[in-house]
Structure formats: structure tokens, C-alpha cells
């Protein structure tokens, strides 16, 4: 192979790599433009029934129930408009808490129940020391009263 052909081949493969990765990224996001679906979208029937998808929202306060003697846990995911009951068996991430964000991957059964195979915690972009968080919570309570 002449140096010229070797060069053309290398350039061609780099360009091909760029085009393919850009194409793959775009296709992936077109197919699954939403990384996760909200409970409202699930309720509206906008989710695939035959394949697994991700459900994202907040864990409803007071909805987490752990089954005694097993790793099975059930909770409700809400976007404060609709609610979807979820069951999951396995280890939960440290940040899994009531009132915090969650992304669960799994399938929806016909009764509207979501069976999760994987549960990830989604946190927001706010960072604060524990004392500040307590003060914020107290402030919210005072406003609510």
C-alpha cells in the first residue's frame, strides 16, 4: 500500500467514525428522546408496552414499604399529577429516599403496575450543609401552616 493510500484510508476511517458516532447518537435520541418517561406520560399511554423503559419521578412521601425478610420494596413514583406503583427486588442506592428523585427501569404490566429491574437515584443540582437543609425544611413547614 502506498503512503498516499494508507493516508486516505486512515482519514476515511476517522471521518467514518465521526459520522457513525454522530449518527448513532442522533438515532438513539430519536428512538428514545426521553431518557425516562414521567408518570403522566405513562398514564396517557405514551410508553411502549412490549419493551422495557425508564420511569422517572419523585418517590411519594410515606409510600415506601419494605417486605419483611426480603429485599423486595414497593413505592409510588409521582410527578404530583399522576402516580405509578412500583415494586423492586434488590439493593437500593444510598440516595433512595422518600421525596427524592428516582429513575426505575422495567416493564409496565396491564394492571398499570411497574415492575422495576433496576432503580437509580436522581438528585437535583442543589447542595447544602445539613443545618441549612433543616432550616429550609422548617421554613417550608412554617409557610405551609
Partner 1 sequence: MNRVGARQAVSSRTRPVLSGLMPSLPVWFHRWGSPPHVYRLADRLRPWLGWIAALLIAGGAFAGLVLAPPDYLQGDSFRIIYVHVPSAYLGMMAYVLMAAAAAVGFVWRIKLGHAVAVSAAPIGASFTFLALVTGGIWGKPTWGTYWEWGDARLMFELILLFLFLGYLALRAAFDDQDKADRVSAILAVVGVINVPIIHYSVEWWSTLHQGPTISKLDSPSITMDMLAPLLVMIVGFTLCFAWLVLNRLQGQIVERERDARWLRQLVTERTR
Beta-carbon count within 10 A of 122 CB = 14
Determine the Cα–Cα distance for residues 54 and 70; give it in Å rounded to an integer: 24
- How far is 63 from 55, CA to CA, in rounded Å? 16
Using the minimum distance from each CB to partner 1, give the nearer residue, 68 or 95. 95
Give the nearest distance from C-beta 137 to partner 1 in angstroms: 9
Q: Quick one: 50 or 94, whose CB is closer to partner 1?
A: 94
User: Which residue has cell 396491564?
Assistant: 110
Q: Which of 23, 32, 61, 140 binds partner 1 (CB under 8 A)?
A: 32
Residue 97 burial by Cβ neighbours in a 10 Å radius (0-12, 13-18, 19+) = middle
* Residue from 96, 108, 114, 116 in contact with partner 1 (CB under 8 A): 96
Footprint on this chain of partner 1 (rule: CB under 8 A): 3, 6-7, 10-11, 14, 17-18, 21-22, 25, 28-29, 32-36, 38, 56, 92-97, 100, 103, 118-134
Amino acid at each position: 500500500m502506498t503512503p498516499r493510500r494508507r493516508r486516505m484510508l486512515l482519514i476515511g476511517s476517522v471521518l467514518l467514525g465521526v459520522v457513525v458516532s454522530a449518527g448513532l447518537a442522533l438515532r438513539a435520541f430519536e428512538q428514545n428522546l426521553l431518557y425516562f418517561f414521567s408518570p403522566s406520560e405513562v398514564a396517557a399511554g405514551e410508553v411502549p408496552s412490549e419493551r422495557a423503559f425508564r420511569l422517572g419521578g419523585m418517590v411519594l412521601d410515606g409510600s415506601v414499604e419494605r417486605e419483611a425478610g426480603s429485599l423486595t420494596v414497593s413505592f409510588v413514583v409521582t410527578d404530583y399529577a399522576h402516580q405509578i406503583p412500583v415494586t423492586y427486588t434488590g439493593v437500593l442506592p444510598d440516595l433512595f429516599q422518600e421525596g427524592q428523585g428516582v429513575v426505575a427501569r422495567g416493564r409496565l404490566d396491564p394492571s398499570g403496575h411497574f415492575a422495576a429491574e433496576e432503580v437509580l437515584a436522581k438528585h437535583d443540582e442543589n447542595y447544602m450543609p445539613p443545618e441549612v437543609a433543616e432550616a429550609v425544611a422548617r421554613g417550608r413547614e412554617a409557610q405551609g401552616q
